[in-house]
Amino acid sequence: MSNTASQSAKSDFILQTVGLTKEFKGFAAVQDVNLNVQRGHIHALIGPNGAGKTTVFNLLTKFLQPTRGTITFNGIDISREEPAQIARRGVIRSFQISATFPHLTVLENVRVALQRKVGNSFHFWKSEKTLNSLNDRAVELLESVDLGEYVNTVTAEMPYGRKRALEIATTLALDPELMLLDEPTQGMGHEDVDRVAELIRKVSKSRTILMVEHNLSVVETLCDRITVLQRGQILAEGPYAVVSKDPRVLEAYVGVEA
């Protein structure tokens, strides 16, 4: 491959890690993880319990600092940046801003997120008229996640699946370039799983998504590429059709002997 082609291929990756390692008192929870997330893709991080998925997410969003290794976003080394810094760069993990306020309406929840985006999240003395200027955008975001009819509903009164849709709307309010979703369908019934999976597909059209997900039917349906972790290391990587037939994955992930 020529240098030009190599540089072009590299630019296709929005997020990369090299030798990413996190040790806790000598125990390597994550060890030498080289992750390449392609721009515009939905990329899943899967593996058995204790595989290190949550630790990787915490490293990528800087809730943990790596013991060693590098993390780059859009070619910029963010390995030592703080969570707020990388959020401003457009790397948003859903719970960072989507812990919904149960006693506010759905509209008010999204409006709070929009206030953070425009930099006046603590201006509680602002007039209602000023806050209302954000309403049009809030309604637009709610309609994009099929919550238009819930605009004035108190959040606590919504079903669980709709609350997860609201979390995605509040995440979108910060205009993320890369969304990190941590088990977005956890605890849902089939109907809600299908609805949220379709919603993820819808919002992925203009951004990249990296997700941790246990529901393999969701992974198979949505994801362009899968990375399988085992004991903090990458075991296998590729499209679902290939990874799901890998004997090592079958043994590690579902307990089937090769």
DSSP string, 97-113: HH---TTSBHHHHHHHH
Cα(236)–Cα(27) distance, integer angstroms: 22
CA triple 179-94-21, angle to 5 deg: 70
Residue 227 has which token pair?
A: 């990375």
Topology annotation, domain 11-90+178-185+206-258: Rossmann fold (3.40.50)
Is 144 in contact with 166 (CB distance < 8 Å)?
A: no
Across the strands, what pairs with 15?
Answer: 37, 73
Q: Which ranges in the chain are annotated with CATH 3.40.50.300?
A: 11-90+178-185+206-258
Among residues 78, 36, 79, 84, the alpha carbon closest in space to that of 224 is found at 36
Q: In this predicted model, what pLDDT tens digit does every residue of 107-134 receive, in sequence order?
A: 999 998 898 776 655 455 455 666 777 8
- Entry pTM: 0.86
Q: In this predicted model, what pLDDT tens digit does every residue of 175-218 receive, in sequence order?
A: 899 999 988 888 888 888 999 999 999 999 889 999 999 899 99
Cα(205)–Cα(197) distance, integer angstroms: 13
